[in-house]
Structure 1
């Protein structure tokens, strides 16, 4: 773990950009960007197009280290290059932005009101490659839809088990048990989730450090005990389907919680925009999310 990168993530002002749409969510991300499915005829072409989109975002002057601490990449983006450098190296060497990699393989079917992560037998190989590509940390997502104690426990158990594997590989895991914003019992879920995460944090050794990525809570400052925990490097928030304005307003009410938005970051960007218009829209998004995060 590079100390400069650790200090930036731990103490820096700003937010983490999520540029990690995977195979399942990439068509939606491209469509929102103005690139319909008729524009590509294979998965390779689709990933080339989304890499062009991400490259345009990352190389924009609006995507800068004064406001952005880190960026979460998809595996294919990590293995692709920007201006002759692997994306992670470009982010850190040219932009001063810390690179992370999404490592989960998607969600299993819903059981007990939750969706666990699918099995990931190739994780050790991916972590080895992540180190070769100079990633700082990883991200992995599960989803909670109902206040089912057993289901929530299963999600957090799985996240921390895999998290320890990632720590062993020398990387910092972002543990992401997303709470569905459409749940009628979102607040109850969040209280159960906080308590379950806290139990796990309290069993970690001093040098076992994690980050958390959580849906912005309905009750402001619900996650303050997690933010202040000595084993937590940083707690970041996903927008989870809230609009940018809504997510920013909720985020401002939570001390120490910073953004890690995906859709809310890129919602007004379009493939047909001129560079001037594209950069202006991205700058507007970056500044609003930055202000909400600090």
Structure 2
């Protein structure tokens, strides 16, 4: 259905044509049965992935791996968009074909990671703020010219009830940064994916995670409203509501679905086209099964789908191993995992895709900084 004229009087003060373009793109990204492939690992992060399969982290290997992902025939049936690292947006494969062209061939919308990573908020107990607002508008213009049509910005909060985390300062910093990023993106015709991740580190219960996630999301949407963000032209990328990975009581997939849906209903306006969940260290199979449980509780006012990185790629990397002769096999693994998540968006995934390997945990525990010891010298 045409949207011409639908956004002439929106409070976000965007030109009607830009508002219409944003809303159209956002809707396409959460099209029925499709989700987003997060292939935006930084050079440092992808090194960890490559180390696991014992291949060198070179620009050639990075291009070959992204070529494997984007060149899988039929992947566009299950994937609507792909989040790229800046290097990838301008990169070509061995044959000289721009990698974004491979996405276009499958009808997949290219996106771009625009944040510059995390830094500690001064005078906090290692709570984090996200860098990258400086120069973001100019970068967005260049990304749009290169073919990107949406962006992603990750912020994080940590749960530690004993230390009062997340603090109100951390939550407000998360909300403000995401809202400011979203407005800059929309002014430059990129759909912002708003990602306030509640890390799964800790021994907290699912009930505690639900309470914290609700508080954070409420604050984020208040900030988005204050900044005049066009909700119809944005997406949310939250964590599912789960217990901390060190919690002694593991919730059922039904509980994950129930608390996740309840939290969204309490905080997310129905004007938002969709929610694209991050996997948060869940195994590939857990991420699919929990997404299925969430959608079994529908119908919902928004599309509830996926934006997975490791939960779509872990088995693919293992199947590939950096060898050309394994590319087709690895692509078949990718297609099976993508199809499983597609089925989960309809609540129709029965489990079992990928076998036992898909059940391996992908959780990476946050490394704690060593405390410095100071010795007082008395003379």
Alignment TM class, shorter chain as reference:
0.7 to 0.9
CA distance in 2, matches of 1:236, 1:168: 22
1:15 and 1:69 in contact (8 A); partners too: yes
- Bigger radius of gyration: 2
- What SS does the aligned partner of 1:108 have? strand
1:175 maps onto 2:194 in alignment? yes
Structure 1 residues 212 and 90 mapped into 2: Cα distance closer, same or farther (>3 Å)? same
- Report the TM-score, using the length of structure 1 for normalisation: 0.87
TM-score between both structures, scaled by the size of structure 2: 0.68
Alignment of 1:133-148 (within 5 A): 133-146=146-159, 147-148=166-167
CA gap 1:290/1:244 in 2 versus in 1, 3 angstroms: same
Q: 1:50 aligns with which of 47, 57, 62?
A: 62
Change in CA separation of 1:125 and 1:206 when aligned onto 2, cut-off 3 Å: closer
2:234 corresponds to: 210
Give the match for residue 43 of structure 1: none
| Cα distance per residue 1:238-274 (max 9 Å; x no partner) | 1111111111222222243211110110111232462
Q: Deviations over 1:54-95 (max 9, x none)?
A: 111110125x22111111000000011245443334312x11
Aligned counterpart for 2:135 among listed residues 122, 128, 143: 122
Unaligned runs of 5+ in 1: 41-45
Residue 221 of structure 2 aligns with which residue? 198
Match of 2:210 in 1: 187
The structure, 1 or 2, with the larger RCO (C-alpha pairs under 8 Å, 6+ apart) is: 1
Question: Structure 2 unaligned runs (5+)?
Answer: 1-20, 160-165, 243-258, 296-302, 347-379
Whole-angstrom distance in 1 between the partners of 2:229 and 2:195: 21
Which of 66, 81, 92 lines up with 1:70 in the alignment?
A: 81
Q: Give SS of 2:214's match.
A: helix
TM-superposed deviation, 1:105: 0.8
CA distance in 1, matches of 2:126, 2:345: 31
Runs of 4+ in 1 over 3 A off after TM superposition: 1-7, 82-86, 110-114, 201-208, 224-228
Q: 1:207 to 1:109 in 2, by over 3 A?
A: closer
Aligned length: 283
Change (3 A) 1:87 1:225: farther
SS of corresponding position for 2:134: coil
- Give the root-mean-square deviation of aligned CA atoms: 2.4
The counterpart of 2:177, out of the listed 123, 148, 158, is 158
